[in-house]
């Protein structure tokens, strides 16, 4: 965060002095990168807080909200770049290509390094992935700024600056869309991407003693936290068998699908859904006594 904020100030000053919209666009993107890193850091910190009586699932969703905020900010930045580039295309100003090249080269180095640091965590955490996309997108867009700077230095064609800015905006918009869609899916409690609900149901039905599955729901609480609830129809109401089946169901969900938080309601063939194994065992015990 400190490295990115410091570079934002430097790039903004150079952008204003050189008259480069591409550099100013990249500085704006870098500022969003710094905010994205701050939000991701806060999301990771908040997710570690324990659950409370008010927030019984804990604070996993803070990371999702951070990812959503990051992706929305990218969309807004892209739209702003489009508008400014459109204005510049009609009236290109004087641009100093040399300053663009050296400043953008520094941006490639800094953003590439931070992207490398974030890469491993981005594979499993949408929050970190949103920050990673910010940084990687800025590293790639800085390559475009270098190209624009070289074109302007050698040909004097100032329109290269807003054209590259349009390409940067398009790249930002494209890279943010996937994270935005995934964050919305999590908040809508959609089935996690890459998880086959039919396969989950099939694995449960394949377990011994399981006669049926319904009201099956799988959703994401937050990065690395997937939850599941289901009604499972069992062949027997004997308490030891019910307990064994529940352990088998939990193991299948965890081992085959990575679902560590599961809530299973047991129903028994030939009995009303509200009749559970324990009340039946108590009743049988009273009858025998």
Contact 188, 90 (CB under 8 A): no
The pLDDT of residue 70: 80
Per-residue pLDDT tens digits for 4-38: 888 888 888 888 887 777 677 777 767 877 877 88
Contact 203, 256 (CB under 8 A): yes
Per-residue pLDDT tens digits for 128-180: 887 887 788 778 777 887 888 888 888 878 788 788 878 878 877 887 788 88
What DSSP element (H or E) covers 133?
A: helix 126-155
Q: How many helices and strands, by DSSP H and E, does the chain display?
A: 9, 3
String of DSSP letters for 147-193: HHHHHHHHH--TTHHHHHHHHHHHHHHHHHHHHHHHHHHHHTTPPPT
Structural domains in the chain, CATH included, are 2-187 (1.20.1510.10), 197-288 (3.30.70.1350)
Contact 108, 143 (CB under 8 A): yes
Cα separations (Å) of 74 from 48, 54, 130?
26, 32, 10
The pLDDT of residue 282: 41
What DSSP element (H or E) covers 267?
A: strand 261-268
String of DSSP letters for 111-128: HHHHHHHHHHHHTT-HHH
As a whole number, mean pLDDT of residues 33-49 equals 80
| Sheet hosting strand 210-222, strand order edge to edge | 210-222, 225-234, 261-268
**Which residues lie across from 214 on neighbouring strands?**
231
The pLDDT of residue 205: 94
289 CB-contact burial (10 Å; exposed 0-12 / middle 13-18 / buried 19+): exposed
């Amino acid at each position: 965060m400190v490295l990115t904020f410091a570079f934002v100030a430097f790039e903004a000053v150079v952008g204003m002095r050189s008259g480069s919209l591409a550099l100013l666009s990249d500085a704006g993107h870098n500022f969003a990168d710094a905010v994205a890193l701050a939000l991701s850091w806060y999301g990771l910190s908040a997710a570690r807080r324990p659950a409370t009586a008010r927030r019984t699932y804990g604070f996993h969703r803070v990371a999702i909200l951070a990812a959503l905020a990051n992706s929305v900010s990218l969309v807004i930045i892209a739209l702003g770049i489009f508008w400014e580039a459109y204005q510049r295309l009609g009236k290109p100003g004087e641009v100093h290509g040399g300053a663009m090249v050296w400043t953008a080269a520094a941006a490639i180095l800094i953003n590439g390094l931070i992207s490398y640091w974030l890469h491993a965590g981005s594979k499993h955490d949408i929050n970190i992935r949103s920050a990673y996309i910010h940084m990687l997108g800025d590293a790639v867009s800085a390559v475009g700024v270098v190209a624009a700077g070289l074109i302007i230095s050698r040909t004097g064609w100032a329109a290269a600056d807003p054209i590259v800015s349009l390409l940067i905006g398009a790249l930002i918009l494209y890279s943010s869309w996937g994270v935005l869609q995934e964050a919305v899916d999590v908040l809508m409690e959609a089935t996690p991407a890459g998880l086959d609900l039919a396969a989950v149901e099939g694995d449960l039905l394949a377990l011994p003693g399981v006669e049926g599955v319904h009201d099956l729901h799988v959703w994401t609480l937050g990065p690395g936290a997937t939850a599941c609830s289901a009604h499972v129809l069992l062949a027997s109401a004997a308490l030891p068998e019910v307990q064994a089946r529940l352990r088998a169901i939990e193991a299948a969900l965890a081992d085959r699908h990575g679902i560590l938080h599961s809530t299973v309601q047991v129903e028994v063939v030939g009995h009303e859904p509200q009749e559970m194994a324990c009340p039946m065992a108590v009743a049988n015990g009273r009858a025998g006594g």
